[in-house]
Amino acid sequence: MLAHALQGVRVVDLSRILAGPWCTQNLADLGAQVLKVERPVQGDDTRAWGPPFVTAASGEKVAAYFLSCNRGKQSVTADFADSTDRDWLLRQIRDADVLVENYKVGTLAKYGLDYAALAALNPGLIYLSVTGFGQSGPFAHRPGYDYIFQGMGGLMSYTGIEDGEPGAGPLRAGVAVVDLMTGMYATSAVLAALVQRGRTGHGQHLDIALLDVAVAMNANQASNYLVSGDCPVRSGNTHPNLAPYEVFACADGYIILAIGNDHQFAAFCGLMGADWHQQPEFATNAGRLTHLKRLRPLLREELARWQVAALGQALDANGISWGNINDLEQVFEHPQVQHRQMLQTVEHPQLGRLRLVRNPMLPAGQAAPVTPPPVLGPAALPEAAHYTQQET
């Protein structure tokens, strides 16, 4: 069962904000014991990234943002500059399998918490550094948040309404996608390093940079550029390689129409009572992309006559992919989302009832009991109190 795959693996989490915590939350969901080491008093920055907040019985407020990426962890506070706290932390690291940190390059070396020092203490340690620009290079010492890398990495250059249309200009994604993708790449790297350590007995330093991830996640857009030499441009809700593949207005709302091949387009035309698929300029996907400005008004006029529900039923009957544009209330009310048990509820002893999102790596209905995100922990634990999963 995946929920117990990392049982016995100990993780010291020195990361904060989103990319590092997303990685360590994944590890916790897979059964690892994660000790989240936070700054005294303030803790992880995202504890204050609200509203909205949940208020504990003690009066402590915890932002919903923090709750999204810190379940399954135990919190403890430590001051790296304090010798007693630092010695306690070194004892935890000596027995750990993984350490995750996202401090600026060189910061942890001042406290003897860099990879070279800790590898001498624990040769099997897998030490993951998550930074904006990586451990080397002319920008290595610069800080940066997700938004910066959505711009620098290219995503915002082709995300947004196309020039000449109302509201034209670059847009960021509505969630911190570079942070999240960095957390997922980091999770994969840690798991691979654990497998490799099982063969060699040696740990290693993993260097994951948000800028690298931002470049890599351009995916087909990067490939389009590298093949053609043409930079992709903002095109609103259209797809760079498929047509029609965008948002259309119906009489009572919007749908996403996603035509993946010429056969589907022919079926769609039949449903619409149109012969567009028989016209040479629209017969192939390449032709539809080339002549999209001519095709789009035809589609808009026809689809505007339909009610969303009726159109959806007709598209389903013809095997044509489509989707609603749901707000989050509609998302969690969707019967398939409910069937997949994506919403999980847990009772926190101090924060009360919390609603959390299931990790999709874990099979629906087979996930281990959810351990809630922690309130800010106490000072460094006593010598004998090695960390365990937080009790609910």
CA 298 to chain centre: 37
Closest CA to 128 of 97, 106, 107: 97
C-beta atoms surrounding 337 within 10 Å: 16
Helix (H) or strand (E) holding 315: helix 308-317
C-beta atoms surrounding 347 within 10 Å: 11
Q: Are 23 and 102 in contact (CB under 8 A)?
A: no
Closest CA to 136 of 107, 162, 174, 105: 105
Torsion over CA: 21, 26, 27, 33 (sign)? positive
Is residue 327 part of the annotated active site? The answer reads no
Token reading at 366: 């087979």
CA atoms within 13 Å, Cβ hemisphere of 132 = 18
Q: Are 73 and 2 in contact (CB under 8 A)?
A: no
CA-to-CA distance for 373 and 108, rounded, in angstroms?
A: 25
Distances (CA, A) of 154 to 18, 56, 197, 219: 20, 41, 35, 11
| Residue recorded with tokens 């504990």 | 56
CA-to-CA distance for 222 and 229, rounded, in angstroms?
A: 10
| Residue recorded with tokens 């099979």 | 363
CA-to-CA distance for 243 and 259, rounded, in angstroms?
A: 6
Of 97, 114, 146, 179, the catalytic one is 179
β-pairing, 33-38 vs 73-77, is: parallel
Closest CA to 192 of 37, 115, 200: 200
Helix (H) or strand (E) holding 13: strand 10-13
Closest CA to 76 of 18, 22, 14: 14
Residues annotated as catalytic are 179
